[in-house]
Amino acid sequence: MKIKISSKTHVQPNKPILGKKQFQLTTFDLPYLAFYYNQKFLLYKFENLLDLEEPTFQNNVVEKLKDSLGSVLEDFYQLAGKLAKDEDGVFRVEYDADEEEINGVEFSVADAVDISVDDLTAEDGTAQFKELVPYNGILNLEGLRRPLLAVQVTKLKDGLAMGLAFNHAVLDGTATWHFMSSWAEICRGAQTISTQPFLDRAKARDTRVKLDLASPKDPNASSNGDAAAEPPQLVEKVFKFSDSAIHTIKSRANSVVPSDGSKPFSTFQSLTSHIWRHVTLARGLKPEDITVFTVFADCRRRVDPPMPEEYFGNMIQAIFTGTAAGLLAAHGPEFGAAVVQKAIVAHDARVVDARNEEWEKAPKIFQFKDAGVNCVAVGSSPRFKVYEVDFGWGKPETVRSGSNNRFNGMMYLYPGKAGGVSIDVEITLEARVMEKLEKSKEFLLIDVEEDGNKITNGNGHGHGHGHGHGHANGNGFA
């Protein structure tokens, strides 16, 4: 792929933010310091190809994006700052208008005019757009000396690719998409954003945690126990579950009325347990082998008092549960859904606080192996309105996560572009396991008879190869 970077600048808030602004990172933020920047990839097709000709592209697209970014940074100025730490090793995010040389969002413009939008959606892996997304393999801890957000806008043959890298120690998926929708709003012509970010991190958790992170380990290191063992080759795929397929999965999970009077299973619980069960089957585990299910859940509404939806920062916690592979295999879909539901319901304000207190006594920086043995882990959320991020040239053709923060069993959920309750599932697995999953008609819901109607779930084919890095980029929702 021929990509030429034509310019790289730093975008500051359009109006100066007076004084030095400092916000201590919270216990919800700190575990992600030694993970990678959280990458997003949005692809736009231009109806009017004249918009891609110069100087129109520079004036109407690039300058408009930069000016609206400068405007939205007046509200989200933490993203224009940097990480810092005091002499005790307590981390903070700070913005100081007087230190311009290390402030601002990195904004690169590139050309790949031989590449079309369709070329970049032809297969499911991240390899084909890796060069279109900045900060591959960059740890969040590097926010001490580099921008907290990097943007790369690449002009294509028939559209535009936008690659972004957000420092995950500073914000989670909910805050990421609040920022993206606000930036798009300004770019489309709004004078002010419709929803202001809530910036006071101390309201989420006000505890000084001292960390010694002089030389963080690569979270990929020995993530499968023996560092000398050759790691299995991982492949990536996007499974697109249609509206009708989701309804089928949910109705099957709810076909057995629970005896304990618990609530019906949600779409999230039904779908993720369906995936957990079929990945476990494809892995060919022994019946007694434990398999762990992990969801990175939004805690804004779980804490007491609740935090506002527009809270800017991380408010996620990993919820862990597990069972024996044989039990998942022997029972119907309602069994796995009940295991997932119980864990999610139990994670209330008391549990959230206890987890934070436990972590503060013995801080532990996450590594991939911490997600659990034979795990399936869930990040992002189909509730994020990713297809409504319209900068003025239409909705995105596709929205994906970048190559950072992927590991064996990690999946990211996005709403399907088709709308309804359709959901796209990005998942990273060992090649042999993925091959079995791709052939499983029960998993894919291919040619399933449901109430006399044939349901065919259209799943894209092809998958990308490559070793991933990994942790969840957002919030699993119940």
pLDDT (mean) for 50-67:
92
pLDDT (tens digit, 9 = 90+) per residue, 128-145?
889 999 999 999 999 999
For residue 259, pLDDT beyond 90: no
pLDDT (tens digit, 9 = 90+) per residue, 191-224?
999 999 999 999 999 988 988 775 445 555 544 4
Q: For this structure, is 390 an active site residue?
A: yes
Read off the pLDDT band of 238 (50, 70, 90).
very high
Helix, coil or strand: residue 38: strand
Mean pLDDT is lowest, of 5-9, 91-95, 370-374, for 370-374
Q: How far is it, in rounded angstroms, from Cα 150 to Cα 458?
A: 34
Dihedral over Cα of 254, 383, 357, 368: its sign: positive
Q: How far is it, in rounded angstroms, from Cα 377 to Cα 343?
A: 14
Percentage of residues in the chain with pLDDT exceeding 70?
89
Dihedral over Cα of 281, 286, 287, 291: its sign: negative
Instruction: For Cα atoms 469, 475, 478, give the angle at the middle one, nearest 5 degrees.
Output: 130
For residue 371, pLDDT beyond 50: yes
Q: For this structure, is 212 an active site residue?
A: no
Cα–Cα nearest to 475, from 299, 276, 237: 299
pLDDT at 219: 54
Read off the pLDDT band of 457 (50, 70, 90).
low
Contact 299, 317 (CB under 8 A): yes
pLDDT at 26: 96
pLDDT at 217: 54
pLDDT at 126: 81
Percentage of residues in the chain with pLDDT exceeding 90?
75
pLDDT at 100: 63
For residue 451, pLDDT beyond 50: no
pLDDT at 214: 56
Q: Which residues contact 348 (CB under 8 A, 6 or more apart)?
A: 302
Cα–Cα nearest to 31, from 351, 356, 409: 356
Read off the pLDDT band of 165 (50, 70, 90).
very high
pTM: 0.91
pLDDT (mean) for 279-285:
97
Read off the pLDDT band of 478 (50, 70, 90).
very low
Dihedral over Cα of 133, 139, 140, 145: its sign: negative
Task: Provide the β-strand partners of residue 426.
Answer: 238, 412
Q: Which residues contact 452 (CB under 8 A, 6 or more apart)?
A: none
- For 348-416, give the DSSP string: -HHHHHHHHHHHHHS-----GGGG-TT-EEEEE-TTS-GGG--SSS---SEEEE-SSS--TTEEEEEE-
pLDDT (mean) for 257-263:
81
Q: How far is it, in rounded angstroms, from Cα 104 to Cα 73?
A: 9
For residue 15, pLDDT beyond 50: yes
Q: How far is it, in rounded angstroms, from Cα 366 to Cα 351?
A: 19
Read off the pLDDT band of 101 (50, 70, 90).
low
Q: How far is it, in rounded angstroms, from Cα 212 to Cα 419?
A: 46
Cα–Cα nearest to 297, from 264, 276, 263, 321: 321
Angle between helix 431-439 and 267-283 (nearest 10): 120
pLDDT (tens digit, 9 = 90+) per residue, 300-357?
999 999 999 999 999 999 999 999 999 999 999 999 999 999 999 999 999 999 999 9
Read off the pLDDT band of 229 (50, 70, 90).
low
Q: How far is it, in rounded angstroms, from Cα 423 to Cα 415?
A: 5
Contact 151, 105 (CB under 8 A): yes
For residue 266, pLDDT beyond 80: yes
Q: How far is it, in rounded angstroms, from Cα 351 to Cα 373?
A: 22
| List of domains in the chain | 4-203 (3.30.559.10), 234-439 (3.30.559.10)
pLDDT (tens digit, 9 = 90+) per residue, 375-416?
999 999 999 999 999 999 999 999 999 999 999 999 999 999
Catalytic residue among 29, 75, 168, 469: 168
Catalytic residue among 111, 158, 370, 390: 390
Any idea how long the chain is? 478
